[in-house]
Structure 1
Amino acid sequence: MTKKREEDYGNYILSNKESILKRKRKIIVMKRTMIILVLLCTILVTLGLTLPEFNLGEVTVSGNEIVSTETVLTSAAIEPDINIFKINTSKIEKILMKNEYIESATVKRLLPKKLSIEIKERKIAFSAQGTDGIYAIDENGRVLGVKETIEMPQVLSIEGIPAEKLIVGEFIKDEDGSRIDGAKDIHKYLSDNGYFEQFPQMRLEVNNFVDYKLYVENAYIKLGSSENMNDKLAKAFSILTTPQFLGMKGYVDVSFKGNPVVFKEE
């Protein structure tokens, strides 16, 4: 039985000699090609890591308005004239994102010798006066940092937040753990409808996050709780933007269901 198998195998080899030789030649060529490619890659990597043409010559920073370019470069701590392939881009991104004002950072190599740092910042939506300066707060209620002044469009000043709730890097929360949702709704409504441009001196008074009062020029709006905030704001501004009440002293009360109450000082 074994002898017959050997004879069959021998016949197979003889009848398929050409195809078997071709297959072996292909395997040899593939092995040689792989060796050449590995050698070329090794040479290219070695040249890339040693040639001065790949030493860092320029770093560009874009997308930053709040955080200065100098702060970004200092935080990145990139060695001058370092080989561009030796730069750990993901490490730099992680370092930059430790800054509370930076939401994301993307670091890219631009061969042969440039590095690009693209910054996406968190937007300052609110400001609150603290004992050591003015606290910058984003639209989600995260305290970003303390600044001497904040002179930026579409930043709504908030009054009434206890100092112990202003902790850099943390969200402002009320007693039940929710964030300043009402203030967020108010800011979005004012921004979407262009009221920051029409009334640049607005400020928001918050009492335990259940009683909101929005000051608009000489008047103020009693908003009450955060429930149905957009509807309340729509009612109030439909009154305050009419010629009869434009620039009035007094208040508009929309804190309850039903028709708003308007009090106009004589």
Structure 2
Amino acid sequence: MIKKENKYILKAQRKKFIKKLLIIFLFFVMAVVLFITKSNFFIVKKVAITGNPIITGDDVKKRCERIIGENIFFVKKDDLIKEAKKNPYVDEVKVSKQYPKQININIVEKEGIYYVNQGKSKFILNNKLILLEKTDDIQGRNLVEVTGIDFQESEIGNTVLEDYRIRNILEDFYNVVKNNPTGYNVSCIDIKDLTDIKVYIGDIEGRLGNDENILDKMNKILHIVSNPETGITKGYIDVSFDGSPIYYKE
């Protein structure tokens, strides 16, 4: 009988002990939650821009610093990504939290490759023909002029042309510009006539003909231009036909 009573006593004590543990745990959780939500320890003090953005860094930082003073646990990454992408030069955004007080925003920029003269303004485009900027000053920026395309007024951040043939042509030229191993840069591309495409490298005119095999044709032109034995600094190079290129020096 005594053993049975002891068994019930032990069982009751165990339940009481578990109940105390649960209460202590709940108080601990509440204390942690209060500390996280009410303490100044987790207040955002700094927004750091990473990825070495050249154009967008200051603008994105200014846009996103509105979260300074907020609790880091309540900062929504999607909101910051959306805010950063309001800058048309921003291509990719990654947001990370560096506890307890810092937000890191990594930026990958769209790159301005081309420009088109539009009245008094110059429209800066990337390789996808997305309008990045309207400006009257491109001094010091290594951009390639594109002539011979017509497009209507477009909003910054939008594609200016839906002609996929022209977009593919300029995508090919983008690969040429980015992977050009010589010190001779393309300054202008004339695509007014897609059967008579021309490029300009300084005072040298490159005649490509149609839009077939652009990469191969440009390799031939750049090889001739950069060859010291050729010595061409002004004139034209014709690669519009099969066979060996023809060039003329002025």
CA distance 1:259–1:95, shift in 2 (3 Å)? same
SS in 1 for 2:35: helix
TM-score, normalised via structure 2 length: 0.80
Query: Is 1:181 paired with 2:168?
Result: yes
The structure with the largest alpha-carbon Rg is 1
SS in 2 for 1:59: strand
Question: 1:208, CA displacement in angstroms?
Answer: 5.2
Q: How much is the aligned-residue C-alpha RMSD, in angstroms?
A: 3.0
Query: Is 1:124 paired with 2:109?
Result: no
State the AA in 1 paired with 2:54: E
Question: 1:201, CA displacement in angstroms?
Answer: 6.4
CA distance 1:174–1:252, shift in 2 (3 Å)? farther
Question: 1:158, CA displacement in angstroms?
Answer: 1.6
Structure 1 residues 96-152: Cα deviation after superposition (integer angstroms, max 9, x where no partner): 123221012222221111121211111112122222522121122222121333356
Question: 1:253, CA displacement in angstroms?
Answer: 1.1
Q: 2 CA distance for matches of 1:171 and 1:161?
A: 13
State the AA in 2 paired with 1:118: N
Q: Would you say the 8 A contact 2:151–2:160 is kept in 1?
A: no
Query: Is 1:257 paired with 2:242?
Result: yes
State the AA in 1 paired with 2:228: P
User: 1:86 matched to which residue of 2?
Assistant: 74
Q: Would you say the 8 A contact 1:58–1:113 is kept in 2?
A: yes
Q: 2 CA distance for matches of 1:140 and 1:34?
A: 60
SS in 2 for 1:168: coil
Q: 2 CA distance for matches of 1:148 and 1:38?
A: 64
Mark the runs of 5 or more structure 2 residues left unpaired by the alignment. 1-10
Question: 1:210, CA displacement in angstroms?
Answer: 5.0
State the AA in 2 paired with 1:188: N
2:219 corresponds to which of 234, 242, 247: 234
Q: 1 CA distance for matches of 2:209 and 2:29?
A: 68
Question: 1:65, CA displacement in angstroms?
Answer: 0.8
User: 1:225 matched to which residue of 2?
Assistant: 210
Question: 1:91, CA displacement in angstroms?
Answer: 0.8
Q: How many residues align?
A: 238
